[in-house]
A and B are shown apart, each in its own frame.
Chain A
Amino acid sequence: MKKHMKLTWAYIFVIVFGLIMIFPLIWMFFATFKDNKELFGSLTILPKAFSLEPYINGWKGSGQFTYLTFFANTFKLVVPTVAFTVLSTGIVAYGFARFNFPAKRILFGLMISTMMLPDAVIMIPRYVLYNKLGWVDTYFPFWVPGLLACYPFLIFQQIQFLRGLPRELDESAYMDGCNPFMVYARILMPLLKPCIFSVIIFQTLWRWNDYFNNLIYISSVKKFTLSLALKMSIDSQGASTPWNQIMAMSLLSLIPPILLYFFAQKYFVEGVTAGSIKG
């Protein structure tokens, strides 16, 4: 009986607290259908009338460029970066997990230690370098670090996973005449799939939500991503900020990460716990 009561309280707590946690998102959703006066005037959560006006006018963006451009730009930045990251970090993890070569211990140690390297301390010389190469105001500063596997956390995750796969798999493939690259591409990569999903999810969320790098590397509105477009929308409106439109566009910008999260949830929790618990 006592145990029963305790469980009831536990349910009440997690439900009420869960509602409080997602309340800002629920409120945001309904706010996108309200008109601007109603946003400030009334406290009811549901709008008086569901109006699509905030979406229609918000979508117009800066006037010169609509949110179609900003969405397309964000995809142009994120998708290749994620693809490059998957390819590069996977093959690097394979190299570290399965081969012995000179100075491997030192190189591995260096790779792990870069996990502690704060972005702030390398970003100025990186900017100077990209500037010299003429890459400022392009998406190269995002694509190239993906191509060159500059994400030690994602490499480490895959190394941990590969360590769990028996080496006999590789051996028998060698017997069948595979070379080391084919062993990875044909045998290990398919088995690595759950881990690759988690790499895709992490990198997509990081790049999609990133503001800082967008801010320093992208300067022309034509190339603005959603982060920059949204920031611009709260800056440039002057006295009467159309908050309903800004909320509408903010909400739209969150939809791709949310969809990704719901579709790939299973891998997500695995990925989050992999690097830390098993360690």
Chain B
Amino acid sequence: MGYSKNWKWGMIFILPWFLGFCILQAYPLIMSLYYSFTDFSILGSGDFVGLDNYIRLFTKDKYFIKSLTVTFKYALISVPMKLLMALIVAMILNMKLKAINLFRTVYYLPSIMGGSVAISILWKFMFMKEGMVNGFLGIFGIEGPDWLGNQNMSLITICLLVVWQFGSSMVLFLAGLQNIPTDLYEAADMDGAGKIMQFFKITLPMLTPVIFFNLIMQIIHALQEFTSAAIITGGGPNHATYLMGVKIYEDAFRSLKMGYASATSWVLFVIILLITMLIFRSSDAWVFYNDGRD
């Protein structure tokens, strides 16, 4: 009874969000699009320059394409690795192991602190040429690479940090696995379907909604990564870890080219939108919903 009569109350309740949306989300979004067509910097008002920023990005700025490539590489390496790891461990934990809560706690631990500066510093220290990781590799007679100084290894080192945090995805997979009705497996057993067959015909299809959700969230995150690259490698060596987040920060707040950085951020935004849309579009073909929609 209170719901339609009290509609004014409803509007009052959402007012904080509405103000926040207008002032801190919609207005900045429009302004950054506007800035992207100017040479705005915090020091001056900025003149309209048309498409100059965008043209410069794609034709003159040799670090932009580099940064774009590095960001894609980062996402393409880290996201599948993280999800695969999360899935494997979740499936093993789901074998009705005892003390499952203890294991879940341990595996989740990296996720609650992995994004911090403290852990990035730990990573930097562990992966130094004379650091702990190479020390332990040395015991096995392996001469460890220069993780942070080598152009081919530095991005991998940063990927490892985010893969280490697979616990957050694992918890979701675990919940998804526990939602699969066991009679599906019993029926498959009776039909004589092997374990591998069951994985591809039951487990994987039933998990596709969770995979879908994880994939979107992780890709959006990966494309915006900043802290690890900024702390561990500073974007180097030779721009090998120069993620888009780092480039936008440096252009906007070090070189104070805010119009230019706004243009870069819009390119990133459009890329994120396109990728998200693509995954959503493709979901009809591979995501299976167990509620009669299929």
In the complex, what distance in Å separates the CA atom of A18 from the CA atom of B24? 42
What residues on B are CB-neighbors of A272 within 8 Å? 168, 171-172
| B24, A148: Cβ atoms closer than 8 Å | yes
In the complex, what distance in Å separates the CA atom of A10 from the CA atom of B91? 10
| A209, B122: Cβ atoms closer than 8 Å | no
Q: Using A88-B17, A100-B7, A121-B265 as known contacts, say yes or no to A212 and B227 having CB atoms under 8 A apart.
A: yes
For A128, A257, A258, which residue has the most chain B Cβ atoms within 10 angstroms?
A128
Pick from B55-63, B105-113, B141-149 the stretch touching chain A.
B105-113
B residues 1-31 touching A (CB-CB < 8 Å): 1-4, 6-14, 16-21, 23-25, 27-29, 31
Report B24 CB to chain A, min CB distance, Å.
5
In the complex, what distance in Å separates the CA atom of A243 from the CA atom of B123? 12
| B106, A21: Cβ atoms closer than 8 Å | yes
In the complex, what distance in Å separates the CA atom of A219 from the CA atom of B273? 33
In the complex, what distance in Å separates the CA atom of A122 from the CA atom of B269? 10
Report A54 CB to chain B, min CB distance, Å.
13
Q: Using A98-B10, A100-B10, A258-B113 as known contacts, say yes or no to A149 and B16 having CB atoms under 8 A apart.
A: yes
| B6, A247: Cβ atoms closer than 8 Å | no
In the complex, what distance in Å separates the CA atom of A94 from the CA atom of B209? 27
Proximity string of chain B (106-130) to chain A, C-beta cutoff 8 Å, 1 when within and 0 when not: 1111101101111101111110001
Q: Is B258 an interface residue (CB 8 A)?
A: yes
What residues on B are CB-neighbors of A116 within 8 Å? 220, 272-273, 276
| B109, A277: Cβ atoms closer than 8 Å | no
Q: Using A120-B244, A251-B118 as known contacts, say yes or no to A10 and B266 having CB atoms under 8 A apart.
A: no
Q: Is B35 an interface residue (CB 8 A)?
A: yes
Report B124 CB to chain A, min CB distance, Å.
7
Q: Using A101-B10, A121-B29, A124-B265 as known contacts, say yes or no to A21 and B110 having CB atoms under 8 A apart.
A: yes
Q: Using A24-B126, A28-B122, A150-B24 as known contacts, say yes or no to A10 and B116 having CB atoms under 8 A apart.
A: no
Q: Using A231-B117, A247-B125 as known contacts, say yes or no to A121 and B130 having CB atoms under 8 A apart.
A: no
When C-beta atoms are compared, the residue in chain A nearest to B264 turns out to be A120
What residues on A are CB-neighbors of B19 within 8 Å? 148
Report B251 CB to chain A, min CB distance, Å.
10
User: How many of A's residues come within 8 Å of B, CB to CB?
Assistant: 95
| B118, A114: Cβ atoms closer than 8 Å | no
Q: Is B204 an interface residue (CB 8 A)?
A: no
Q: Is B202 an interface residue (CB 8 A)?
A: no
Q: Is A119 an interface residue (CB 8 A)?
A: yes
Q: Is B278 an interface residue (CB 8 A)?
A: no
In the complex, what distance in Å separates the CA atom of A274 from the CA atom of B125? 36
Report B36 CB to chain A, min CB distance, Å.
9
CB within 8 A of B24: which of A126, A208, A216? Answer: A126
When C-beta atoms are compared, the residue in chain B nearest to A152 turns out to be B17
What residues on A are CB-neighbors of B210 within 8 Å? 276-277
Report A53 CB to chain B, min CB distance, Å.
18
**What are 6 A-B contacts with C-beta separation under 8 Å?**
A27-B126, A100-B3, A150-B24, A171-B1, A184-B13, A226-B118
- The 10 lowest CB-CB distance pairs between A and B, nearest first, are A99-B10, A148-B20, A95-B13, A250-B118, A125-B31, A125-B28, A122-B28, A95-B14, A209-B116, A180-B9
